[in-house]
Amino acid sequence: MKNKKIYLSSPTMHGEELKYVQEAFDTNWVAPLGPNVNSFEREFADYVGIGYAAALSAGTAAIHLALILAGVKKGDKVFCSDLTFSATANPITYIGAEPIFIDSERDTWNMSPEALEKAFKKYPDVKYVMVVNLYGTPAKLDEIMDLCDRYHATLIEDAAESLGAVYKGKQTGCFGKIAAFSFNGNKIITTSGGGMLVSEEEEIVNKARFLSTQAREPERHYEHKEIGYNYRMSNVIAGIGRGQLLHLDEHIALKKKIYENYQENFKDITSVSMNPFDEKNSKPNYWLSCILLDKGSEVKPLDIMLALEKENIESRPIWKPMHLQPVFKTCDFVTTEASGSVGEDIFNRGVCLPSDIKNTEEDMDKIIAIVKSLF
C-alpha cells in the first residue's frame, strides 16, 4: 500500500470561502469584477495596512503592472533579486527591459544591500529596484530603501511569498512604491491563482485597474488609447480570497509551529541550520521551512529529497538563482563575493522541507525521523 502523500505546501480551505463563492453564484456575479472583488481589495489593503489594492489574475500580472506603473520602459535596466522564482524577473523582459541580478546576503537570504550599493556604483543611472522577501522572510528593507533614496531609484517589492510578514512593525508590501502579492495554490493563502497590486498612491492603483481591464476608456463604444491587459481577478476567485483572508493569522501561526518544530529537532545536528531571519527586526510568515547543510556535510540535499520522495513526501531544492538560468545568461550579476555567489551556495546546500499546515504530529515526526536518520 502506498504511503499517504505529504505535501510541501497545499491549499487549506475552511468553509467561509464557499459562502462568498455561493453569493457570487446566487447573484450571477461570475464574470470578472463584482462585489467580492471590491470587498477583497478593501479587506486586503486594511490587513496589510496600505492605502489601496487592485485584485489581479496572478502575482506575475501584479509584478508586470507594477513595473509599468513605476515607469520602466524598453531598454531600461532593473536591479532584481537573484535568488528567487523566475516570475520575479520574467515581467522585466516582457517590457523589453534588462534585469541585472543582485546577490543575496546570508542573514536573510535576500538581496544584499552591499551588493546593491556596488551595483549602483557600477550603474548609477539605474532607477528601479525589484526586491523579493524570500520564503516569507523580510529583506533588509530599510537599508535597501536608503540606497534607493540615495540613488533616486524606485523600489518595487515582490511580496508574493511574504503576505503577513512584518519588518520593523510594518507589513511587507508597504515599503516599495508598489508591491505585488501572490495567491498561487501553494502560498500562505490562496485563491487557486490570482494576485494583488498595492500602493499608498490611489492614482497608481486606479491605473492598475484600468490597464488590467484592457485599458478601455469610459466611452459607450470600445475606445483604447493605451495597450491594456486581461489581468483582472474574477468575482468568484475573489470570494475564495475573502474567505482565506479570515484565516491568514491562523495559517502564519501554524507555519511558525512547523518551523520551530524542525528547529528544535535539528538543533543537535551541527551540520544543519534553518533558513535565517532577523529576529530583532522581523517576523516572517514562515511560508516555507528550509534547511541549509554545512559545506562539509556528507549528507547532500539530494539525499534528503530522495529519502523523503521514497516515502511519498514532497520537498524541493532552493530556488536556482536567476544568473544561473540559461534564459538569463546574458544578464549581468553583481556580488560582493570573491568567488561564486551567496545565492549559488544556498542553492547548492539547501532544501525546502514540507511546510503544509495540515501536517499532523505524526506527519511531522515521520519527516523529521527520515531526515535525522541520514546523519
Cβ–Cβ under 8 Å, residues 190 and 184: yes
- Is the per-residue pLDDT at 179 higher than 70? yes
DSSP classification of residue 357? T
- Report residue 367's pLDDT band, with 50, 70 and 90 as the boundaries: very high
State the average pLDDT over residues 278-284. 97
Residue 1 has a pLDDT of 59
Per DSSP, the chain holds a count of helices (H) and strands (E) of 12, 15
State the average pLDDT over residues 177-189. 97
- Report residue 3's pLDDT band, with 50, 70 and 90 as the boundaries: confident
What rounded mean pLDDT belongs to the chain?
A: 97
- Report residue 31's pLDDT band, with 50, 70 and 90 as the boundaries: confident
CA distance 227 to 219: 16
Query: What single string gives the DSSP state of each residue in 7-52?
Result: -SS-----SHHHHHHHHHHHTT--SBBSHHHHHHHHHHHHHHT-SE
- Count CB-CB contacts under 10 A for residue 354: 23
- Is the per-residue pLDDT at 181 higher than 80? yes
State the average pLDDT over residues 9-21. 95
Q: Mind listing the domains of the chain with CATH numbers? A: 16-245 (3.40.640.10), 248-373 (3.90.1150.10)
CA 297 to each of CA 173, 270, 375: distance values in angstroms, whole numbers, following the listed order? 37, 9, 9
Cell numbers placing 22: 455561493
Helix (H, G, I), strand (E, B) or coil at 53: strand
Query: What single string gives the DSSP state of each residue in 152-215?
Result: T-EEEEE-TT-TT-EETTEETTSSSSEEEEE-BTTSSS--BSBEEEEES-HHHHHHHHHHHBTT
Q: What is the pLDDT of residues 108-123, one digit of tens each?
A: 999 999 999 999 999 9
Residue 213 has a pLDDT of 96
Higher pLDDT, 51 or 339: 51
Cell numbers placing 221: 463604444
Cβ–Cβ under 8 Å, residues 79 and 60: no
Residue 33 has a pLDDT of 82
Residue 21 has a pLDDT of 95
The H or E element that residue 264 is part of is helix 248-265
Closest Cα partner for 115 from 76, 83, 154? 83
- Count CB-CB contacts under 10 A for residue 170: 15
**Sign of the torsion angle spanned by Cα atoms 273, 274, 280, 281:** positive
CA distance 2 to 143: 50
- Give φ, ψ of 192 to 5 degrees: 85, -40
- Report residue 2's pLDDT band, with 50, 70 and 90 as the boundaries: confident
- Is the per-residue pLDDT at 370 higher than 80? yes
Residue 29 has a pLDDT of 86
Q: What is the pLDDT of residues 323-341, one digit of tens each?
A: 999 999 999 999 999 988 9
Residue 209 has a pLDDT of 97
First to last CA, the chain: 28
Residue 348 has a pLDDT of 98
- Report residue 61's pLDDT band, with 50, 70 and 90 as the boundaries: very high
Q: What is the pLDDT of residues 120-142, one digit of tens each?
A: 999 999 999 999 999 999 999 99
CA distance 66 to 60: 10
The H or E element that residue 350 is part of is strand 350-352
DSSP classification of residue 311? T
State the average pLDDT over residues 45-57. 98
